[in-house]
Structure 1
């Protein structure tokens, strides 16, 4: 089957940590996975932390998006919405929409914010909307995952999250609950991708 695409934008590294943990969950199901980033449209504001976060991560191509068997899409929270760089990339996918290239493929979303109430759930919902327009099947997290009941950091049935607090120069590592939920999200996405691929 075609690889699952884990696609994200990260300025300080927190969203990258989520992406890498989700990719581990995908790999646990013996499903190929590729991790990619989107091009930053804020290069004039770039700093060393931003460059380090994605220095070794290739930028996604539209062909990789079109050919993926499933998509995990991540962005930091920006005023309760996805980052402009992610929106800019999604706005470039009209040809894939016209071809119906993503119809019936499973997708999930993930985000990080600097504070507990920084708009994580509204950001996740904002990322779901264009994926629904593409005809993708949204894959959230069920409450059968015990960490959803116990977490005091990130975590949501809409998709996995991370709370980085306010230390932007040195983002905190993912908590144990956040890591577990990332792994579960990647595993669930891969399971759906395999099922849908076998039925195609």
Structure 2
């Protein structure tokens, strides 16, 4: 197993990507590598396709990335209280990795962004955990020892880092959101290191 955390996300307007980058900083502060990956758009029209390699930004995830990682951070904007279909589409194709136990006993965390305060952040995080539990992953949230969970007026949850975009498609994270994303990256890296030693 390699010594990196896979940060797999889908981002439409940039907020979830900003969270992924901050989580990566937390991972790297613990001496581990962060590997940022995204997923292509899902299209229902035959005229709309994406190249197999993105023209800019983070590369598209490969299933081999799941097997190679030491832990996983999974992020998506909220879509009606659930993860976006582009990310769900990829997750739904991982039955081979599930059968092989590629993610068993690896730590995982989830993160999300919404345009409204009560836009389904917690239900999105909880629903994102379900396939990870099926994969045998060890779910890691954010403990209330992080003071930002008590002080935040924007995003933040014990289930994972969140961002509240105030309905303006903002990708700028608040100080509390930045701190919680960083802490989530640190916690995943720390747990991956401990689990690898057992």
Question: What is the TM-score of this pair, normalised by structure 2?
Answer: 0.92
Q: Deviations over 1:69-121 (max 9, x none)?
A: 00000000000000001110000100000001100000000000000100000
Say if 1:43 and 1:178 are closer, same or farther in 2 by CA, change over 3 A: farther
Gaps of 5+ in 2: 49-54
Q: Within the alignment, does 1:146 sit opposite 2:134 as a pair?
A: no
Higher helix share: 1
User: Are 1:73 and 2:74 an aligned pair?
Assistant: yes
Q: Which runs of 4+ in 1 moved over 2 A?
A: none
Question: What residue number does 1:184 align with?
Answer: 183
SS at match of 1:143: coil
Following the alignment from structure 1 to structure 2, what is the Cα–Cα distance between the partners of residues 180 and 119? 21
Q: CA deviation at 1:65?
A: 1.2
| Distance across 2 between alignment mates of 1:72 and 1:57 | 15
1:2 Cα deviation (Å)? 2.8
Tell me, yes or no, if the aligned pair for 2:13 and 2:171 is still in contact at 8 Å.
no
Residue 67 of structure 1: how far off its partner (Å): 1.0
Alignment of 1:15 onto 2:16: yes
Task: State the number of aligned residues.
Answer: 191
The answer to whether the 8 Å contact 2:76/2:113 transfers is: yes
Matches within 5 A, 1:52-67: 55-67=56-68
Matched residues in 2 for 1:32 and 1:128: separation?
A: 23
The TM-score, its normalising length taken from structure 1, stands at 0.92
3-state SS, counterpart of residue 112 of structure 1: strand
Q: Which residue of 1 aligns with 2:92?
A: 91
Q: Name 2:51's counterpart in structure 1.
A: none
Specify the SS of the correspondent of 2:197: helix
Residue in 2 that maps onto 1:24: 25
* C-alpha RMSD of matched pairs (Å): 1.8
Asked if structure 1 preserves the Cα contact closer than 8 Å seen for 2:14 and 2:171, the reply is no
DSSP 3-state at the match of 1:158:
coil
